[in-house]
Structure 1
């Protein structure tokens, strides 16, 4: 977004948004997900922030982290003693139903349950472009809100489109109709896509995320990132300005 001015919207997780705040600030205008459905991990992919948080909170030891995860199930199948990164709306289904050398249920928990309760997949714009894009955002954000609400109540048509798109693009991991249906049910049942405490789809509750946001900032600073003020001025990183309170 900072190297190509033709890109106006991006999807940025809450921890990434904080990490970018000192030098490449973006503003979340609506969250697609209430929280990240990622699962607590020992085998992880590189450059994730939540494993560092789990270590800082004493829930894992740094010596337990293995950053070799590549998205494939082979490591887990070959060594079921390990715990592995994944998404609650994906890997539990594919391991049980689409991994012939495993094909049995797996247990999981989500990082949100450990307290890592940050908004995921925020629709964002560059902070310095917010005012210029305001007329567009006032129209597009309510549409995005309605899309989330409609997906929860009727996901089939969207799922069919996603399955078709993934099937046409070989670099993507295969995405079956069964996985899409499972994902839609979990996202609804676990309220990953859901209205906020105010009853509105796609709104921000800054009070809820203040503690975890301050934790993330402290963690990043301990790793050498520029210092940010405390408490974090979340109203400069997220805004409900364009959110329609009618989407309930």
Structure 2
């Protein structure tokens, strides 16, 4: 008579065999692993990537994608440079800064055709130039991003700057104060407080940097070009699907970030559509996630104009159209 211990051993052996078979099946399916990090906690601004995961689009393109959330304590580009990621999300200016530091990173696609940075004012303001000489709350990081551009384009000066508290409360308490923000976020909180803000999307005034660029190591671009093209294509298809029906992607977003509300998700999607943040620019002609040399050169020119550029740096190393050129998923 067979002992219980022997039966348990046989059962464990069968389980191990089944697990090995499943692993072998996954390998046989030829899915290439990609570890991708976003730039913040899961939100609608990452919706297309979550949609591609939820709808099986990555799997359809032979990819096994892991999405890792960013956050205030996560330096995605540092992790990318260290080989802990395959793809990281970053602002275009961050990629140019990496080139200044001789870090071999390169942007291969851009999620946002329009940078979502905004200046938010109170009702009664109709033109951005009306804010010249008026108090504006900005973060210290703005001193190397949009603030020098505002100074150069609209004659703003440093005497206007007020500390940014990463809260809309100072704005709500002071009708003379304007503040920085993102089109998809801070206006929502302000509207919830009963104020209809005036929102100026800086990209509509010519602010050039790409946002939410997809960045890889240069050696990865050389070694895994086919994998990267499939990743960009699948992500573009995910974005097209998400903007049509965001429910599947939103379910995964809430799973990763339970604090995210349905109301904010809906607002953010609405703003991305309203301002053509994903579907505007070259996306209408070249497809979602596309980039252009002209746009990157305009960003470098902005750095030179505002004296943020460093001499003898080949900024053209910061981007490559080799991958996204073959991807044309129209909105």
TM-score band by shorter chain is 0.7 to 0.9
Q: Which residue of structure 1 lines up, in the alignment, with residue 156 of structure 2?
A: 60
Match of 1:47 in 2: 141
Greater percentage in strand = 2
Aligned equivalent of 1:211, options 292, 298, 301: 298
Q: Give CA-to-partner distance per residue, 1:68-91, whole Å, 9 cap, x none.
A: 323222211222311111111111
Change (3 A) 1:24 1:80: farther
Task: Answer with 6-15 or 57-66: which moved more.
Answer: 57-66
Bigger proportion of residues as helix: 2
Unpaired runs of 5+ residues, structure 2, are 1-76, 121-135
- Following TM superposition, by how much is the alpha carbon of 1:217 offset from its aligned partner in structure 2, in angstroms? 4.1
Do the aligned residues in 1 keep the contact of 2:146 with 2:207 (CA within 8 Å)? yes
Structure 1 gap ranges (5+): 168-173
| Rounded Cα–Cα distance in structure 2 between residues aligned with 1:130 and 1:203 | 16
Partner of 2:171: 76
CA pair 104-57 structure 1, distance change in 2 beyond 3 A: closer
After superposition, the CA RMSD in angstroms is: 2.3
Deviations 1:129-175 (A, max 9, x none): 321232321221111111121111111222233234322xxxxxx53
* Partner residue, 1:171: none
User: d(CA) in 1 for partners of 2:137 and 2:106?
Assistant: 31
CA separation of 1:240 and 1:26: change in aligned 2, threshold 3 A:
same
1:200 to 2:282 alignment: no
**Within the alignment, does 1:36 sit opposite 2:115 as a pair?**
yes
Give 1:180 shift: 0.8
SS in 2 for 1:5: coil
The residue aligned with 1:125 is 216
Task: Look up the match of 2:251.
Answer: 160
Larger radius of gyration: 2
Counterpart position of 1:13 = 91
Q: How many residues align?
A: 231
Displacement of 1:212 in angstroms is: 3.1
Aligned partner of residue 43 in structure 1, secondary structure: strand
In 2, the alpha carbon distance for the partners of 1:21 and 1:219 equals 18
Find the aligned partners of 1:6 and 1:146 in 2 and give their Cα distance: 26
Judged with a 3 Å threshold, the aligned counterparts in structure 2 of structure 1 residues 127 and 147 are, in CA distance, closer, same or farther, namely same
Question: Retained in 1: the 8 A contact 2:106–2:320?
Answer: yes
User: Alpha-carbon deviation of 1:240?
Assistant: 2.6
Task: Give the one of 322, 328, 331 matched to 1:241.
Answer: 322
SS at the partner of 1:39? strand
Decide whether the 8 Å contact of 1:31 with 1:202 is kept in 2.
Answer: yes
| 3-state DSSP of counterpart to 1:47 | helix
Q: Distance between the aligned counterparts of 2:155 and 2:250, measured in 1? A: 36
TM-score, normalised to structure 1's length? Answer: 0.83
- 1:185 aligned residue (256, 267, 270): 270
CA distance in 2, matches of 1:53, 1:227: 22
